[in-house]
Amino acid sequence: MKKIENISSRRKFLSDTTKAGLVMGLVGTGILASSCAAAKVTTSGGFSTGFSQTPLPYGFSALAPNIDAKTMEIHYTKHAAAYASNLMDAAKEEGVDISKPLENVLASISKYSVKMRNNGGGHYNHELFWNIMSPDGGGKPKGKLLEAITASFGSYESFVTQFENAAKTRFGSGWSWLSVDSSNKLVVSSTPNQDNPLMDVAEIKGTPILGLDVWEHAYYLNYQNRRPDYVSAFWNVVNWDAVSNRFEKAI
Q: Stretches 8-16, 139-147, 194-202, 216-224: which one binds Mn ion (CB under 5 A)?
A: 216-224
Closest CB to Mn ion among 123 and 249? Answer: 123
Closest CB to Mn ion among 127 and 213? Answer: 213
Number of residues lying near Mn ion (CB under 5 A): 3
Q: Using CB under 5 A, which residues numbered 144 to 183 contact Mn ion?
A: none
Least separation, in Å, of the C-beta of 83 and Mn ion? 8
Cβ pair 159, 146 in contact under 8 A:
no
Q: Stretches 145-153, 185-193, 217-225, 237-245: which one binds Mn ion (CB under 5 A)?
A: 217-225
Least separation, in Å, of the C-beta of 189 and Mn ion? 18
Closest CB to Mn ion among 159 and 219? Answer: 219
141 Cβ contact partners less than 8 Å away, ≥ 6 residues apart: 149, 156, 240, 243, 244
Q: Stretches 133-141, 188-196, 197-205, 207-215: which one binds Mn ion (CB under 5 A)?
A: 207-215
- Taking CB atoms, the residue at the shortest distance from Mn ion is 213
Binding mask 50-79 for Mn ion (x = CB under 5 A): ------------------------------
Closest CB to Mn ion among 51 and 153? Answer: 51
Distance from C-alpha of 167 to C-alpha of 185, rounded to nearest angstrom: 20
* Residue 127 near Mn ion by CB under 5 A: no
Instruction: Name the nearest CA neighbour of 199 among 116, 141, 132.
Output: 116
Q: Stretches 58-66, 153-161, 194-202, 206-214: which one binds Mn ion (CB under 5 A)?
A: 206-214
**Would you list the DSSP string of the chain?**
---EE--HHHHHHHHHHHHTT--TTTTTTTTTGGG--S-EE--BTTB---SSPPPPSS-TTTTTTTS-HHHHHHIIIIIIHHHHHHHHHHHHHTT--TTS-HHHHHHTGGGS-HHHHHHHHHHHHHHHHHHTB-TT--S---HHHHHHHHHHHSSHHHHHHHHHHHHHH--SSEEEEEEE-TTS-EEEEEEETT--TTSTT-SS--EEEEEEE-SGGGTHHHHTT-HHHHHHHHTTTB-HHHHHHHHHHH-
Closest CB to Mn ion among 184 and 193? Answer: 193
Closest CB to Mn ion among 80 and 145? Answer: 80
Closest CB to Mn ion among 213 and 241? Answer: 213
Q: Stretches 113-121, 139-147, 166-174, 213-221: which one binds Mn ion (CB under 5 A)?
A: 213-221
* Residue 213 near Mn ion by CB under 5 A: yes
Contact positions toward Mn ion, by CB under 5 A?
A: 213, 215, 218
